[in-house]
């Protein structure tokens, strides 16, 4: 096989190479691994020249991954739709906070969190792929908030796609719930599960393995292991370097990424592999610190998840860590498979020294506790007049610890603070002003079905949804 950015293999090595459309519609590879392109495309220095338009940078970064797997013009149409949903002309504006410290704002989209950037593209590209193949697709996902909201906004009224979202009943914030339930789209079903997020995930797993549901067409999940979502996150790293250059800063930056499933951070690492000048990556995690312990101590071990203010990062087994291990092992599927199978079976695995050194060359990791997260929210307001969400605060805290001699430091800001008012208001003494997309939710009618946390109830609800 000749390697090419538009041919995909699995990190576990037991899947025939496939194209972008198949990787997009399947999500996970059939052997249980994650799809990876067989080569990285190369971006020239012109790619991040100052003043470039977001859609142009995104086309250049993403087109090589798609090749001819989608109808002509599919990516242009998807990017047009994406950028129309973001108010700032830069789409993801870079804000200077102080000398050598910047914040990349990724929350100006339809649901005010960064998942919009990848989800809007994934929805538009899925629709194009299904149009071409004549198939139907049913997507199910469990959500603690942001993913479900972004998925509903992205897939509502998308032809050939049905979307079923399971959220824990009365355990998501009112804003997040209304973002999911006030969308008037016949192809979206919201299920409120009497249980917690883990119950929702368990029900989704059950549904995905139910063969009878496949009669309707393809059946898959919207989650951050989807290669298309990762590819859709590469452009804002390019844009950040372009905007930095426009501000007169030409040194390669250090990116500090608030991290849960490591999708966002891995997209940055992909951008560097494509030639983007980057001085380093820091993955900033909350007290759910499996990734930080793996990188810092050399043992990847599961711990019970704890609830934190940066709830979208409450992840103990970051799914995209497998992609990083695959790359760092020199793309060795045997090493990757053994490591993740051992982790799944035993709950812990020691990283071989050579692999650990290769991982550390890609990324460092810092864990930020809850008290520090709160004091960082206060600091951001006092020092820069910025009201930030808890996820962003985790990144900013880690970013302020980075030696600026390495290069300018860019913290990624992943959600609008108004989505997390319950955590931000007690620290600042006032509630963050909601952006227009949240004000517009108004008091529109909500549509959702409450079900028991059992497989039979989930199956019946899905069967009743046509």
Ligand X SMILES: *Cc1c(COP(=O)(O)O)cnc(C)c1O
Residues forming the site for ligand X (CB under 6 A): 113-115, 146, 224, 258-264, 312-313, 391, 414-415
Q: From 420, 422, 416, 428, select the one nearest 375 (Cα to Cα).
A: 428
Q: Which is nearer to ligand X, 146 or 289 (CB)?
A: 146
Minimum distance from CB of 363 to ligand X (Å)?
12
Q: How far is Cα 354 from Cα 115, in angstroms, rounded to an integer?
A: 34
Nearer to ligand X, 74 or 438 (CB): 438
Residues 6 or more apart whose CB falls under 8 angstroms from that of 254 comprise: 278, 279, 280, 281, 282, 402, 406, 407, 408, 409, 410
Nearer to ligand X, 74 or 411 (CB): 411
Nearer to ligand X, 130 or 256 (CB): 256
| Residue number with CB closer to ligand X (127 or 259) | 259
Cβ–Cβ contacts within 10 Å for residue 53, how many?
A: 14
Q: Taking phi first (over 0 means left), then psi (-120 to 50 degrees means alpha), and beta for anything else, what does residue 392 get? A: alpha
Of 321 and 340, the one with the shorter C-beta distance to ligand X is 321
Residue 146 or 376: the one with the smaller Cβ distance to ligand X is: 146
Give me the catalytic one of 115, 205, 273, 436. Answer: 115
Q: How many CA atoms does the CB half-sphere of 182 hold within 13 Å? A: 16
Which tokens in the block code for residue 334?
């045997």
- Angle among Cα 40, 46, 50 to the nearest 5 degrees reads 125
Of 205, 131, 135, 197, give the one whose Cα is nearest residue 169: 197
Nearest approach, Cβ of residue 312 and ligand X (Å): 3
Shortest reach from residue 422's CB to ligand X, in Å:
14
Which residue, chain included where needed, has tokens 């019970």?
A: 304
Which residue has tokens 């997390």?
A: 420
The DSSP result for 9-71, as a single string, is EETTS-S--B-HHHHHHH-B-TTS-BEEESS-----GGGG-TT--HHHHHHHHHHHHHTTSS-
Question: Is 205 annotated in the active site?
Answer: no
378 close to 408: Cβ distance less than 8 angstroms: no
Q: Where are the alpha helices (DSSP H) in 187-346?
A: 197-208, 227-231, 235-246, 263-273, 290-297, 321-328, 333-346
C-alpha distances out from residue 391 to 94, 158, 257, 302, 451, Å: 17, 30, 9, 21, 30
> Residue 183 phi/psi, 5° resolution?
-80, 120
- The answer to whether 427 and 374 have CB atoms below 8 angstroms apart is yes
CB 378 within 8 A of CB 428: yes
Compare residues 182 and 259 and give the one whose CB is closer to ligand X: 259
CA trace torsion 29, 83, 395, 37 (10° rounding):
30
Q: How far apart are CA 213 and CA 356, in angstroms?
A: 42
Point out the residues that are catalytic. Answer: 115
């Amino acid at each position: 096989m000749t390697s090419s950015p538009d041919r995909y293999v699995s990190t576990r090595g037991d899947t025939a190479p496939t194209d972008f459309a198949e990787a997009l519609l399947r999500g996970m590879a059939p052997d249980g691994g994650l799809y990876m392109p067989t080569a990285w495309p190369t971006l020239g220095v012109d790619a991040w020249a100052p003043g470039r338009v977001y859609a142009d940078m995104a086309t250049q970064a993403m087109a090589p991954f798609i090749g001819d797997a989608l109808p002509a013009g599919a990516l242009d149409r998807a990017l047009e739709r994406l950028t129309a949903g973001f108010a700032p002309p830069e789409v993801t504006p870079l804000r200077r906070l102080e000398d050598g410290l910047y914040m990349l704002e990724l929350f100006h989209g339809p649901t005010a969190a960064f998942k919009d950037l990848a989800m809007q593209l994934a929805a538009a590209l899925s629709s194009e792929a299904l149009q071409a193949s004549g198939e139907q697709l049913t997507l199910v996902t469990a959500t603690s908030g942001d993913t479900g909201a972004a998925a509903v906004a992205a897939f509502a009224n998308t032809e050939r796609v049905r979307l079923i979202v399971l959220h824990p009943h009365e355990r998501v914030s009112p804003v997040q719930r209304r973002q999911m339930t006030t969308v008037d789209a016949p192809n979206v079903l919201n299920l409120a599960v009497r249980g917690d997020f883990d119950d929702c995930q368990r029900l989704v797993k059950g549904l995905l393995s139910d063969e009878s549901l496949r009669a309707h067409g393809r059946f898959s999940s919207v989650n951050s292991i989807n290669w298309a979502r990762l590819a859709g996150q590469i452009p804002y790293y390019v844009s950040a370097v372009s905007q930095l250059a426009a501000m007169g800063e030409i040194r390669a930056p250090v990116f500090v990424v608030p991290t849960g499933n490591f999708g966002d951070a891995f997209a940055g690492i992909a951008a560097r592999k494509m030639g983007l000048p980057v001085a380093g990556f820091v993955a900033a995690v909350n007290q759910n610190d499996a990734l930080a312990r793996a990188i810092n101590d050399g043992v990847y071990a599961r711990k019970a998840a704890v609830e934190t203010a940066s709830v979208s990062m409450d992840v103990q087994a970051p799914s995209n860590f497998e992609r990083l291990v695959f790359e760092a092992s020199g793309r060795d599927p045997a090493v990757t498979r053994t490591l993740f199978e051992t982790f799944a079976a035993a709950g812990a695995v020691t990283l071989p020294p050579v692999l650990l050194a290769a991982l550390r060359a890609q990324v460092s990791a810092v864990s930020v506790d809850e008290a520090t997260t709160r004091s960082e929210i206060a600091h951001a307001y006092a020092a820069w007049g910025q009201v930030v969400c808890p996820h962003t605060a985790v990144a900013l805290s880690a970013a302020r610890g980075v030696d600026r001699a390495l290069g300018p430091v860019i913290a990624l800001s992943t959600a609008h603070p108004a989505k997390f008012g319950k955590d931000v208001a007690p620290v600042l003494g006032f509630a963050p002003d909601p952006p227009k997309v949240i004000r517009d939710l108004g008091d529109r009618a909500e549509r959702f079905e409450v079900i028991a946390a059992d497989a039979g109830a989930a199956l019946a609800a899905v069967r009743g949804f046509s």
